[in-house]
Structure 1
Amino acid sequence: MKMKSFFAALLMVPALAFASGDAIHLDKAPNVQGDNAALQNGARLFVNYCQSCHGASFIRYEKLMELGLSEQQIKDNLMFTGEKIGDTMKIAMRPDEAKKWFGATPPDLTLIARARASGDGSGADWLYTYLRSFYKDDARPTGWNNVAFPNVGMPNVLWQLQGVQVLETVKAENGTEQHKLVLAEPGQLTPEQFDKQVADLVGFMVWMGEPGASNRRAIGVGVLIFLAVLFVSAYALKKNYWKDIH
């Protein structure tokens, strides 16, 4: 049964193929903005898997109440080292120590989704692709590499959920070499379940970059509706005022 599950996972894993030397194709990240359950799960993943090295120093814990969490839920599930609800989501690790351990200081992730936006795709697309593109590489100090960010110093912190991917080289019909990610060892989640978890995590990082985006969009829609109604009223008034002249 376990072996059947293993081969099923191999068949279901979304293969990520790319030509040597070509830019990586970015997968489209599911949009979970406005889905508080997904964003709450993303916050849980962030504090459990990312925040040991990466801070979010422009966001206060109390801001997470906008996702539908109570103050007590935040304290019980998202705060582990005696912080106060009004504190920012910083980490205790010192930048100089982090640079010595990892070779580079892990960046603050508050604005990472906005910083990674480019003409090739949104920051969410890049993060969604990156977090699903780790593979085993014994030549790297951490034992991991990434096709979206070659020779990155970060290990695959989600490997227990995803499993272990390896990079295989295949020949395309035109004779060029292509590299393909293959799931060699299944993780705790199926590929579909893992993709959903990554989508929630990325969605939370997108939300951190602009927590007021949903309100801004709602206000914008309201303003457009108001202007449309005002236009109809103004046009009707104009028609009535000028009817004797025209």
Structure 2
Amino acid sequence: MRKWILAIALAALPGLAIAAAEGFPLDAANIDLHNKASLQRGAKLFVNYCMGCHSAEHQRYNRMARDIGLTEEQVKDNLIFTGAKVGDLMRNAMPKADAKKWFGAAPPDLTLIARSRGVDYLYTYLRTFYIDPSRPWGVNNAAFPLVGMPHALADLQGWQKAKLETHKDEFGNETHQIVGFEVVKPGSMSGPEFDAAVRDLVTFLAYIAEPIKLERQRIGIWVIAFLIVLTGVFYLLKKEYWKDVH
């Protein structure tokens, strides 16, 4: 048993060396939740490239339609491929037991992924898959070393390899740091086009993570204004009550 554990540990060392390097810098997503065109493009990418494995089971199709400026008919005709009804939750058709058997673990639901990971992380993660023949799916990820999922957007981005810098510490131990990427097989999109598409997808993921966010912010401004006015009224009332005490 110990020999097996040692063998597994040694096999993982190259990946661990990269993972042990300083965290990969995150790029700013710069999303705009007010941009309904971006949300609609992101929804299209989500149902076409993500929902084969992942679900968003805390979000309903009809709620999404209303919030991002689509009609229910448009959603039924263009965004539902599973036979679900427009009032249903956005679940996929993959059985979790089969998913666990195929992938080692069931792909997580993505409803709250933007809140748990952050939009900058997602934007960087989706753009930094690179070829790594040692991994089960042939790819690794700069933001998530030893990633266990395939590169779902490879048809759009293409295939890229990582540019590595090797560093030695005072004891001669080597670590490898990713400093960039080189495209070896182009996808259907150029680099800027793919970045824009990923931004749309992340915008949609941020929306489903908190659909009420914009409304909450709008109401919050009025609540703060009300409290400021109320504070002034209470101050004047206090002065009126206490003016004869002295």
Q: Distance in 2 between matches of 1:88 and 1:177?
A: 43
Q: How much does 1:154 deviate?
A: 0.8
Q: Distance in 2 between matches of 1:83 and 1:207?
A: 21
Q: Structure 1 residue 135 and structure 2 residue 130: aligned?
A: yes
Q: How much does 1:48 deviate?
A: 0.5
Q: Distance in 1 between matches of 2:176 and 2:134?
A: 21
Q: Structure 1 residue 44 and structure 2 residue 41: aligned?
A: no
| Corresponding residue number in structure 2 for 1:83 | 84
Structure 1: tracts of 5 or more residues without a match: 1-17, 117-122
Q: How does 1:29-108 map to 2 (within 5 A)?
A: 29-64=29-64, 65-108=66-109
Q: 1:59 to 1:235 in 2, by over 3 A?
A: same
**Equivalent pair of 1:133/1:181 in contact (CA under 8 Å):** no
Structure 2: tracts of 5 or more residues without a match: 1-17
Which is worse superposed, 48-57 or 139-148?
139-148
Q: Distance in 2 between matches of 1:85 and 1:204?
A: 18
Q: How much does 1:180 deviate?
A: 2.7
Measured against aligned partners, the alpha-carbon deviations of 1:64-99 in whole angstroms (never above 9, x if no partner) come to 121111111111111112210111111111111111
**Equivalent pair of 2:24/2:143 in contact (CA under 8 Å):** yes
SS of the residue 2:156 aligns to: helix
SS of the residue 1:170 aligns to: strand
Between Structure 1 and Structure 2, which shows a larger proportion of helix residues? 2
Q: How much does 1:59 deviate?
A: 0.7
Q: How does 1:1-246 map to 2 (within 5 A)?
A: 21-64=21-64, 65-116=66-117, 123-171=118-166, 177-184=176-183, 185-231=185-231
Q: Distance in 1 between matches of 2:211 and 2:231?
A: 32
Measured against aligned partners, the alpha-carbon deviations of 1:96-131 in whole angstroms (never above 9, x if no partner) come to 111111111101111111222xxxxxx111111110
Provide the aligned length of Structure 1 versus Structure 2: 223
Q: Structure 1-normalised TM-score?
A: 0.80
SS of the residue 1:150 aligns to: coil
Measured against aligned partners, the alpha-carbon deviations of 1:182-201 in whole angstroms (never above 9, x if no partner) come to 23233222222211111111
SS of the residue 2:37 aligns to: helix
Q: Distance in 1 between matches of 2:177 and 2:195?
A: 23
**Equivalent pair of 1:56/1:110 in contact (CA under 8 Å):** yes
Measured against aligned partners, the alpha-carbon deviations of 1:153-200 in whole angstroms (never above 9, x if no partner) come to 21111112112110122357x997532332323322222221111111
- 1:180 aligned partner, one-letter code: V
Q: Distance in 1 between matches of 2:228 and 2:99?
A: 54
Q: Structure 2-normalised TM-score?
A: 0.80
